[in-house]
Amino acid sequence: MNPMLRHGGALVLVVGLGGCTPPDPPVLAPAPAAPAAIAAAQHPASNDDMAHRPIYDAPAPVVAAAVDAGSAPAVVSVALDHAGDVLIGQQFGEVQADGQWHSAGLYEATQGRCEYYERGTLPDGVAMMVQDGDVVRFDLAPIDDSGQVVVQPGPFGLRLDMPRAQVLERLPPGATAQPYGEDPEAGESLLWQDPGSDLAIRVGIVDGVVSRMYWGASGAVDLIEGCT
């Protein structure tokens, strides 16, 4: 073979190989960040200094209770601004014809200024306070204390007889506690005010569990003894 051709072919081969570079190595995803440290639990709240103070109790784990599917209540939408189809701020006259309502009989005593209603289009076990014709509050309790077992949940999935620790786990941050009425031994009241509106919820705790619940306009929620 011609020496020039042999060397020329080798030169072409070297140049060809020099133009083939290996592919870049794959880029690995960054390592996941380390989980945030969990703060140590603080001491539970007590009745000694509970007047309008923030609650920082560490919530206890929620233990799911077994529920018989046949006895579970129908899911009814309940939030701070409504119960069922009834809205806070709505005039009672707008919903009066939608169902059969049962009243507490306060109309004459309050000269028409205030009344409680239940049934109608409200979820079972929910009553509402009407002031000057406007719906201002909902109560998770029968208006006549008939002993009816209320299984309907309130806002945030709170229920009557729910332990206090579970209430604190479900309420948004910023809830405050104060004595329930003038006697600290009677229990406590947990209050959460929605920072973006005039809506609030108040949960009565007696013997460590939920005994009563109000939600709606903050001014009406503050009326622990009702509108009378």
Give the pLDDT confidence of 83-105 residue by residue, as tens digits.
Answer: 999 999 999 999 999 989 999 88
Domain spans of the chain, in order of start? 53-58+76-221
> How many Å is the Cα radius of gyration of the chain?
32
Dump pLDDT digits (tens) for 113-159: 999 999 999 998 899 999 999 999 999 987 776 667 888 999 999 99
Using CA atoms, how far residue 59 sits from 16, 43, 195, 202, in Å, is: 70, 11, 22, 18
Pick the CATH number of 53-58+76-221 from 3.40.109, 2.60.460, 3.40.50, 2.30.110: 2.60.460
Residue 54 has pLDDT above 50, yes or no: no
Determine the Cα–Cα distance for residues 115 and 104; give it in Å rounded to an integer: 7
The structure's pTM equals 0.66
Determine the Cα–Cα distance for residues 165 and 113; give it in Å rounded to an integer: 37
Dump pLDDT digits (tens) for 151-184: 899 999 999 999 999 999 999 999 999 887 677 6
Determine the Cα–Cα distance for residues 182 and 186; give it in Å rounded to an integer: 8
Is residue 136 exposed (0-12), middle (13-18) or buried (19+ Cβ within 10 Å)?
Answer: buried
Contact yes or no for 202/214 (Cβ under 8 A): yes
CA angle, 130 as apex, 128 and 131 as ends, to 5°?
Answer: 150
Query: Among positive and negative, which fits the CA dihedral 121, 123, 129, 134?
Result: negative
